[in-house]
Amino acid sequence: MVKGMIQRGVNALCQSPNHRVLRQRLLVTGFFLLTLLVIMARLDAEADLRLEANTLVLPGGFPALHVNNVSAKLLSSLQQHSLTRTTAPLVVRDLKMAKLANAQKRKWAKSHFVPPLWRGEKRPSCARLISGDVMEQARAKDFMERHKRLEKTPLEYVREARNCSRFIEERGYIMAATPEERSFPIAYSIMMYTGVEQTERLLRAIYRPHNYHCIHVDLKSGEEIMAAMRAIAGCLPNVFIASRLNKVYWATYSSLEALLFCMDDLWKASGTWKYYINLTGQEFPLKTNLQIVRILQALNGSNIVDASTDP
């Protein structure tokens, strides 16, 4: 049909003796053909996007994609091919491109969907995770699986700690404190068995130069872990490895003995600290050093000690 109309338009133009009329007819015919092509494209797009879909679940553990309209051809393609994590962002992009082709330009449904990498993938929201958002928890789990970080080895810590000033600066240790903090030093003991990186992160969070930090390394830990912790302690003032070490076994006297070793060393290091806090390498503070100081000041010399008796 279009071919016949074009042919008739050309014949009419060729039969005209007037060049002005020829140009006018050419413009009118061109505008008519362009309008016709646009109308046909709109009709084709609407016919292609008539299929309504509420939920599209991607294989490979991806959360569901919620959309208002999905191209019938695209949905058929999705059903024929097994999607993987690496192809999912491309699928989302194709869905968005199909949406833009819709003449009515319907908006995406307001719901969770996998952010396409081509737009910049967003990190999980801490506020939503804390509030118990199930969809955000699923997205965070998937994000962590696809963005796994390599843990530093003990030997890497030994190598980095050879330059102490650089180690302190790059790791972000806080070497300053307020007068209120300096007037209220705290003694810490850390019982650790494994996980040098996690223990070092804990130490970095609680460390202040005026505090005192004793680290008890379980003798079952191995030479590499012991070397790494000694290297870290050697770079930081008022951080030291306990002078006596033992093999620690859960729910036995050996656990208490390790604490007593550190308490004795901390008392010998200085008698000026106000409070003693015992930690394990798997813990992490929820308060800053200044906040901890103010909480302990409010105790006014009282202790917080959990105790229990055997039945």
Q: What is the pLDDT of residues 217-232, one digit of tens each?
A: 999 999 999 999 999 9
User: Which parts of the chain are beta strand (E)?
Assistant: 186-192, 212-217, 239-241, 275-280
The half-sphere exposure of 34 on its side-chain side, counting CA atoms within 13 A, is 6
3-state SS of the chain: helix, strand, coil percent to 5? Answer: 50, 10, 40
Residue with tokens 């999980």: 124
pLDDT of 240-267, one tens digit each? Answer: 999 999 999 988 999 999 999 999 999 9
Per-residue pLDDT at 119: 41
**CB distance 228 to 157 below 8 Å:** yes
pLDDT of amino acid 105 = 38
pLDDT the model gives residue 22: 62
Spatial CB neighbours of 290, under 8 Å, sequence gap ≥ 6: 178, 180, 181
Q: In this predicted structure, what is the pLDDT of residue 271?
A: 86
Kindly give the parts of the chain with pLDDT less than 50.
Answer: 2, 45-75, 77-94, 96-119
Instruction: Give the per-residue pLDDT at 251.
Output: 85
